A = this chain, B = another copy of it.
Amino acid sequence: MRTLLIVSHPDIIESYSQQYFLNAIKGFEDVTVHHLESHYPNWDIDPKKEQELLRQHDRILFQFPFYWYSSPPLIKHWQDVVLEEGVAFGKRGGILEGKEFGLILMIGVSEREYQAGGKEQFSISELTKPFQAMANKTGMHYLRPFEVYQFPYLEDEQKMDILIPYWQKLTMENNNSLATRESWLIRQLQQLAKSKSNSEEARILQFAMEIIEENRTNMDGLQIVLDQMYHE
């Protein structure tokens, strides 16, 4: 699975949150990071080039700061010029059909305010309806959004804890079963082991992978026994 991460931030160098997350995915092989403001400082988006990028990926993600309950203006401009009728929707359209779409939102207000009775009054699900409608129109499967609230105020450990689900949102199959999470973890450990020159560390990682795979084999065996009992 190849993921296209379309990032928009008017001043990304100054954004602590954006830098933190983008640094954490450097070298990810199956993720293309595409920062719109860097590619198009004059906003002269090339629709054909963007459409080609979309074709080459299976999961499309928008990552941006959630100002005024929506995306930065360049994402909207991208939608207006790239998602053409006859290409992204309508007759002879459909280049996005069957792909996955998701939002990664950096939010400045606390989570509890996004509900009836909260200061922001509406939930994130309500406020992101325009993106859900876009996924609907272009035939994409809408993923659960990945929401980060008041990131700069978190403790260091809390920040690191967010990275695992972030990596998963970018690279893990959209299926939260134990089997999916295990095979995702094994792939991560394999990549990590490859990069280790220290053979002691590599051996520990190898050992962790063996344990996980052994557990998986045991679980699969138990599943077979359960299935047989159920059918008898």
Q: What residues make up the interface of A, taking CB atoms closer than 8 Å to B?
A: 10, 67-74, 76-77, 79-80, 83, 119-122, 126-127, 129-130, 132-134, 136-137
Contacts and interface: CB of A to CB of B under 8 A. Distances in A.
Contacts of A129: 69, 122, 126-127, 129
Contact of A68 (B69, B121, B134): B134
Contacts of A120: 133, 136-137
Contacts of A72: 76, 80
B121 A69 contact: no
B133 A130 contact: no
Given A73-B76, A73-B80, A80-B73, A122 B132 contact: yes
A48 to B, nearest CB: 19
A83 B70 contact: no
Nearest to A69: B130
Nearest to A131: B69
A47 to B, nearest CB: 14
Contacts of A70: 70, 76, 130
Contacts of A10: 80
Given A68-B76, A76-B70, A80-B68, A122 B133 contact: yes
Contacts of A79: 67-68
Nearest to A67: B80
B69 A73 contact: no
Contacts of A134: 68-69
A45 to B, nearest CB: 11
Nearest to A65: B80
Nearest to A78: B73
Given A121-B133, A126-B129, A136-B120, A83 B68 contact: yes
